[in-house]
Amino acid sequence: MVQAVGGKLLEYTGKVQPQLGERGANGQLLYPYFPNPELVEAVNLAIYLERPLLLKGEPGCGKTLLASAVAYELDLKLEAWYVKSTSRARDGLYIYDAVGRLRDAQLATSNRLTPEQILRIDDPTSYVRWGPLGRAFQQQQRRVVLIDEIDKADIDFPNDLLLELDQKQFFVEETGQEIEAKAAPIVLITSNDEKDLPDAFLRRCLFHYVEFPSRERLIEIVNALFPTSPEALVKQAIDSFWRLREKMQEDKGEAGKKVSTSELIDWFRVLRRYPEDEALAKLDGKIPYAGVLLKRWDDHLRYLRQSRGCE
């Protein structure tokens, strides 16, 4: 379907999953990921058009994990850029260690450097530290680049990446290097919708809203992560979780935080510590270990009132 550099066909299917406990190249634990057909199509369109794919959806619905899943199935290296409030757009391309070069120059005047270290001072490229996009642009093989939670940074952040994401090239001012992508990376960008992104940035992206998994998909996720779990326990846990989520949806609408997939996984892991009959007894009409699921005091209060029949 999609032609990549070197003639290799790239198509994400969402059907190739890591084995339980398998780790990636950087040692991180890999998890099965079950995208719906619309998300698979969005990823393949982004690959084909070589455009960033902007992913929105409620926290915990799986936006960030998609990048690992795509990299795993396509056998590509993942470059993850976790944006912070202090992040600058250029950090994703490169950081120039001017302080390090000045330090080395001062050490050189006091004869405290080896001849090899002195030669390094005369080469400004020695002080360039490539960021995730900078590294991806210089590879012969495509890489998957995750720009996670782009709206955490300053409002100028996405605008400052327009040219680099669109033209797939950038200039290193300190060394005069022109860096042009040898193979366009597959760029996935997540947003929790905390800030409005500029129109010019949105125009260069594809967009997909990641829907919260259906009840059946949640069962599939839990079974994949905990394959030896009793069927009755999985069903009753998902039923309890689903009722809680629907009640929160009813009380809070679309805007408020509701229990998410990542919290469900932690909660189920706690339940599995107990024998099946004991865990099922804990689930009998109640939400045991509610603190694993409910992270706000008002959610706790609402749950306690409802469980006591006060609402």
Whether residue 192 is contained in a domain is answered as yes
Question: How confident is the model over 96-106, as a mean pLDDT?
Answer: 85
User: Count of domains in the chain?
Assistant: 2
Query: Is the pLDDT reported for residue 255 higher than 80?
Result: no
* Choice between 220 and 286, residue whose per-residue pLDDT is larger: 220
Domain that holds residue 131: 37-97+110-210
Q: What string of H, E and C letters represents the secondary structure of the chain? A: CCECHHHCECCCCCCCCCCCCCECCCCCECCCCCCCHHHHHHHHHHHHHCCCEEEECCCCCCHHHHHHHHHHHHCCCEEEEECCCCCCHHHHCEEECHHHHHHHHHHHHCCCCCHHHHHHHCCHHHHEEECHHHHHHCCCCCCEEEEECHHHCCCHHHHCCHHHHHHCEEEECCCCEEEECCCCCEEEEEECCCCCCCHHHHHCCEEEECCCCCHHHHHHHHHHHCCCCCHHHHHHHHHHHHHHHHHHHHHHCCCCCCCCHHHHHHHHHHHCCCCHHHHHHHCCCCCCCHHHHCCCHHHHHHHHHHHCCCC
Does residue 219 share a domain with residue 246?
A: yes
Choose the final residue of a domain: 157, 187, 210: 210
Query: Is the pLDDT reported for residue 102 higher than 90?
Result: no
Query: Is the pLDDT reported for residue 199 higher than 90?
Result: yes
Does residue 227 share a domain with residue 157?
A: no
Whether residue 21 is contained in a domain is answered as no
CATH number of 195's domain: 3.40.50.300
Parallel, antiparallel, or unpaired: how do β-strands 144-148 and 78-82 relate? parallel
Please state, rounded to an integer, the average pLDDT across all residues of the chain.
89
Does residue 188 share a domain with residue 146?
A: yes
Query: Is the pLDDT reported for residue 108 higher than 80?
Result: no
Question: How confident is the model over 75-84, as a mean pLDDT?
Answer: 95
Whether residue 48 is contained in a domain is answered as yes
Does residue 274 share a domain with residue 156?
A: no
Query: What pLDDT shows up at residue 1?
Result: 42
pLDDT digits (tens, 9 = 90+) for 224-251: 999 999 999 999 999 999 999 999 888 8
Does residue 153 share a domain with residue 223?
A: no
Query: What pLDDT shows up at residue 2?
Result: 41
Query: What gap in Å lies between CA 57 and CA 260, rounded to an integer?
Result: 11
Query: Is the pLDDT reported for residue 163 higher than 70?
Result: yes
Whether residue 289 is contained in a domain is answered as yes
For 74-78, 127-131, 139-143, 297-301, which range has the lowest pLDDT when averaged over its residues? 297-301
Does residue 59 share a domain with residue 44?
A: yes
User: Is 68 in contact with 24 (CB distance < 8 Å)?
Assistant: yes
Q: How many CB atoms lie within 10 A of CB 118?
A: 14
Question: How confident is the model over 86-100, as a mean pLDDT?
Answer: 92
Whether residue 84 is contained in a domain is answered as yes
User: Is 19 in contact with 29 (CB distance < 8 Å)?
Assistant: no
Query: What pLDDT shows up at residue 3?
Result: 44
Query: Is the pLDDT reported for residue 83 higher than 90?
Result: yes
pLDDT digits (tens, 9 = 90+) for 138-159: 999 999 999 999 999 988 899 9
Query: Is the pLDDT reported for residue 4 higher than 60?
Result: no
Query: Is the pLDDT reported for residue 308 higher than 80?
Result: no
Does residue 56 share a domain with residue 146?
A: yes
Whether residue 132 is contained in a domain is answered as yes
Choose the final residue of a domain: 171, 191, 210: 210
Does residue 258 share a domain with residue 118?
A: no
Query: What pLDDT shows up at residue 48?
Result: 95
Query: What pLDDT shows up at residue 58?
Result: 86
Does residue 187 share a domain with residue 119?
A: yes
Query: What gap in Å lies between CA 50 and CA 44, rounded to an integer?
Result: 10
Does residue 206 share a domain with residue 151?
A: yes
pTM of the predicted structure, to 2 decimals: 0.87
Query: What pLDDT shows up at residue 310?
Result: 55
Whether residue 103 is contained in a domain is answered as no
* Choice between 67 and 98, residue whose per-residue pLDDT is larger: 67
Whether residue 9 is contained in a domain is answered as no
Question: How confident is the model over 182-202, as a mean pLDDT?
Answer: 92
Token readout for 128 is 């360039």
pLDDT band at 311 (very low <50, low <70, confident <90, very high): low
Does residue 219 share a domain with residue 172?
A: no
Query: Is the pLDDT reported for residue 164 higher than 60?
Result: yes
Query: What pLDDT shows up at residue 234?
Result: 97
Does residue 224 share a domain with residue 256?
A: yes
Question: How confident is the model over 69-84, as a mean pLDDT?
Answer: 95
